[in-house]
Amino acid sequence: MTEGQEASSEEVSESQIAVHWREEKYFFPPAKFIAQANAADPDIFEQFSEENFPECFRAYADLLSWDKYWHTTLDTSEAPFWKWFVGGKLNASYNCVDRHLATKGNKAAIIWVPEPESADPVAITYTELHRRVNEFAALLRDFCGVKTGDRVTLHMPMVPELPVAMLACARLGVIHSQVFGGFSGSACGGRIADSGSTILVTMDGYYRSGELIDHKVKADEAVEAARKEGAEVDKVLVWRRHAGEYASQTPMVEGRDFFVDEVLSDYRGQVVEPVSMPAEAPLFLMYTSGTTGRPKGCQHSTGGYMAYVTGTSKFYQDIHPDDTYWCMADIGWITGHSYIVYGPLSLGTTSVVYEGTPNYPDAGRPWRIAERLGVNIFHTSPTAIRMLRKVGPDEPKKYNYRFKHMTTVGEAIEPEVWRWYHEAVGKGEAVIVDTWWQTETGGFLGTTLPALGPMKPGSCGPMALGIYAVIYDEDGNVVEAGSGKAGNICIRNPWPGVFETVWGQPERFVDTYYKKYCKNPDSKDWHDWPYFAGDGAVQAADGYFRILGRVDDVINVAGHRLGTKELESSCLSVEEVAEAAAVPVVDDVRGRAVEMYISLKPGFEASKDIEAKITKAIETDIGKIARPKNIWIVPDMPKTRSGKIMRRVIASISNFTDVGDITTLANPEIVDGIRQQVRSTKEARGDAPRELTEEEKAEIKNFGTE
């Protein structure tokens, strides 16, 4: 498609936009890597071919220890609520801890690196992990009275007590719901209420960028926010960052708040039998944003999820028991659940947990950690890579570490940034896997098998074993590989890691993920139920996919999805605000940043004070991660005749791209004024966006269109 054609049509959908695909050259895995890889025999592709589905996933499930073997690999009778390994029973905590005791009891399961560099790393062996998990499980059961199937909310920072709490819940068959520690108390409270938890596990404080942050204060806010939604928290369990010293300013509430270290002394040495759970029993909830304000509690299963993360950790992360593996993500996101805790520990490896920010006290910190601990597998996000490249491009070479393998996850990585990761961080000798997946998918969907497929910067690669993807246009026609056209990427088949439902919102589960391309809503055949991922993608002639970003009203900031509706409703809680619209702006470090457009109620004037209130509201309702880069208070929003805010128009203004056809607006005359306001301010601050790529332009142009 030519420039002219592209500009002409208002109705051009994401799927019709030509992608200006510049082919990148391949990089090949070094022979040394191939020689030791877990998956090095190309026969594996045959083993996972479509004819062998779903039985191929036996290979993943057989990596686990089952109390009872399953009879049905995939049950589709309640499509699209798939059930994997039906009839099987197992315990996730047993698989991550107990089964390693006999052969690896004295090996480090977790090496925890506190942020202050003056403090030494702490190694927790499998034996020690077993002791801690059991004692905390005993406390949860006997002190809190939680039972199998109950939900417990965790709002924990990056400390070993977090995996301990997760595994203790799993031991009891209790469903944990960890809320990212950086989220606000109010966001946590909403998730407590949604999940129906009566117990909150938190910590008094933690270190972040050199500061001991008061975290317990958020627990009080969370309890309050949950109460507003009609949910009562009975007990708040507070771990202490420094045992015996309380790091928070907020008082402990009598009868509700308890210091874990104090209560735990009653459970010293107790052993709790792992509860044998049906494969399809929920293991945890992980909340994510969607197009409506209410967050979605993605429910992950025990058997399918554990099988999938164990299998993918083995084949794609290439984890061997004697590796030292470091995923720098936060355990509070799905990446951390799957690829810091459950996958690596199930394989009996050593998983590094780092408390703080990667560039504290300087951009050499990650490489010093890698050098000191002998990390050989490293896993992070494009945002972190961009940031480390920006502030310390020459740091990696100062340190004597060697990675055999590196991962990138969370958003598309620019080829330039990829090459720095490969050359500088990987010293040219590490393989890279660019893994595309989602909170909902439990584990990797798109990625190369590191010893068996070449890498191509900027593309995640083909799909993982047993994942059969297709790109559909808006009408459900297949967009062919090599056509240069983008469309909606879907997975044609179920896989063991896919989430089971949206907690308490089964109709939303079906509507959001399966309705769009469902061939027959009464069908029990999985072929009729493609999974709609909500991402735009293009497939090159070699079969490699390039993910272009979300097609819904979600903004990916630093690899994490923020719902525009959540941002907007937070702004509307500020008294003076009449209307709010959130749009993405291209950001060189975080990928995308949020900009808010605001119109005020009659009688109010724009002021710094109102802007500050809006920022505060967002920080309180969601967290600092969502803080807008700019807030534009405008006289009116560009709207359609039916009154809908045209987000693509303001998104174009923010990104200095062509606003396209605005003749159908009810108020086209206001566009120029807004553009001038935004442009002149950004230019004066030296904050004008760079020239966007064609893909980015397409994303902005389609933002918020339905």
Of 45-53, 183-191, 333-341, 479-487: span binding ligand WT7 (CB under 6 A): 333-341
The tokens describing 579, both together, are: 């209307």
At residue 535, the 3 state secondary structure works out as strand
Q: How far is the CB of 546 from ligand WT7 (least distance, A)?
A: 8
The one segment of 10-18, 214-222, 238-246, 554-562 that binds ligand WT7 by CB under 6 A: 554-562
Q: Which is nearer to ligand WT7, 300 or 560 (CB)?
A: 560
Select from 98, 411, 695, 696 the one that contacts ligand WT7 (CB under 6 A). 411
Taking CB under 6 A as the binding criterion, the range among 37-45, 160-168, 210-218, 409-417 that sits at the site for ligand WT7 is: 409-417
Q: How far apart are CA 183 and CA 185, in angstroms?
A: 7
Q: Shortest approach of ligand WT7 to residue 483 CB, angstroms?
A: 20
What distance lies between CA 184 and its chain's CA centroid? 17
* 3-state SS, one letter per residue, for 277-330: EECCCEEEEEEECCCCCCCEEEEEECHHHHHHHHHHHHHCCCCCCCCEEEECCC
Q: Which of 91, 125, 178, 288 binds ligand WT7 (CB under 6 A)?
A: 288
| Interhelix angle 564-571/608-621, nearest 10 degrees | 130
Q: How far apart are CA 363 and CA 393, in angstroms?
A: 9
Query: Does residue 560 belong to the site contacting ligand WT7 (CB under 6 A)?
Result: yes
User: H-type helices in 456-563, by residue range?
Assistant: 506-513
DSSP 85-108: EET-EE-HHHHHTGGGHHHHTTSE
Q: Is 300 in the site for ligand WT7 (CB under 6 A)?
A: no
The site that binds ligand WT7 (CB under 6 A) totals a number of residues, namely 25
Residue 549 Cβ, how far from ligand WT7 at the closest point, in Å?
Answer: 5
What residues contact 557, with CB distance under 8 A and at least 6 apart?
A: 590, 591, 592, 593, 594, 625, 626
Residue with smallest beta-carbon separation from ligand WT7? 439
Select the span of 203-211, 356-364, 530-538, 688-696 touching ligand WT7 (CB under 6 A): 530-538
**Which residue in the set 556, 599, 654, 702 belongs to the binding site for ligand WT7 (CB under 6 A)?**
556
Site for ligand WT7, residues 430 to 459, rule: CB under 6 A: 434-439
Here's the x/- map for ligand WT7, 490-529, by CB under 6 A: it reads as: ----------------------------------------
Closer of 311 and 549 to ligand WT7 (Cβ) = 549
Q: Which of 141, 216, 337, 561 binds ligand WT7 (CB under 6 A)?
A: 561
Binding mask 130-169 for ligand WT7 (x = CB under 6 A): ----------------------------------------
Instruction: Give the shortest CB-562-to-ligand WT7 separation in angstroms.
Output: 9
Query: In whole angstroms, how close is the CB of 554 to ligand WT7 at the nearest point?
Result: 8
| Cβ proximity to ligand WT7, 14 vs 535, nearer residue | 535
For residue 12, give the nearest of 637, 486, 588 by alpha carbon.
486
Nearer to ligand WT7, 124 or 340 (CB): 340
The piece of 113-121, 303-311, 331-339, 563-571 that touches ligand WT7 (CB under 6 A) is 331-339
Q: Binding ligand WT7 by CB under 6 A: which of 160, 343, 358, 559?
A: 559
Does 489 help bind ligand WT7 (rule: CB under 6 A)?
no
Tell me if 549 contacts ligand WT7 by CB under 6 A: yes
Closer CB to ligand WT7, residue 346 or residue 441? 441
335 binds ligand WT7 (CB under 6 A): yes
Q: Closest CB to ligand WT7 among 76 and 459?
A: 459
Choosing from 193, 236, 334, 479, the residue that interacts with ligand WT7 (CB under 6 A) is: 334
Window 456-485: residues binding ligand WT7 (CB under 6 A): 460
Pairing, β 486-491 against β 531-539: antiparallel
Task: For residue 59, give the nearest of 543, 496, 615 by alpha carbon.
Answer: 496
Quote the tokens at residue 6: 């592209």
Per CB under 6 A, 323 contacts ligand WT7: no
* Type of residue found at 453: G
Q: Give, as one character, the DSSP assignment of residue 386.
A: H
Q: Which stretch binds ligand WT7 (CB under 6 A): 71-79, 154-162, 220-228, 548-556?
A: 548-556
* Among positions 337, 550, 613, 697, the unique one binding ligand WT7 when judged by CB under 6 A: 550
Q: Can you tell me which residue has the tokens 């220890």?
A: 65
Backbone phi and psi for residue 406, each to the nearest 5 degrees, phi listed first? -140, 150
Peptide bond into 361 cis (omega under 30): yes
The C-alpha angle with vertex 342 and arms to 361 and 529, in degrees rounded to 5, equals 115
Considering the rule CB under 6 A, would residue 313 count as an interface residue with ligand WT7? Answer: no
- H or E element, residue 699: helix 694-701
Q: Is 228 helix (H, G, I), strand (E, B) or coil?
A: helix
CB 363 to ligand WT7: min, Å: 23
Complete DSSP assignment for 625-677: GG--SEEEE-SS--BBTT--B-HHHHHHHHTT------TTBS-TTHHHHHHHH
Q: Shortest Cβ distance from residue 677 to ligand WT7 (Å)? A: 30
Question: Is 409 among the residues that bind ligand WT7 (CB under 6 A)?
Answer: yes
How far, CA to CA in Å, does 143 sit from each of 138, 199, 266, 339, 382?
8, 11, 10, 31, 43
Measure the CA–CA gap between 519 and 515, rounded to whole angstroms: 9
CB 668 within 8 A of CB 638: yes
Answer yes or no whether residue 311 interacts with ligand WT7 by CB under 6 A.
no
Interface with ligand WT7 includes 535 (CB under 6 A)? Answer: yes
Binding site for ligand WT7 (CB under 6 A): 288, 333-335, 409-412, 434-439, 460, 533-535, 547, 549-550, 556, 559-561
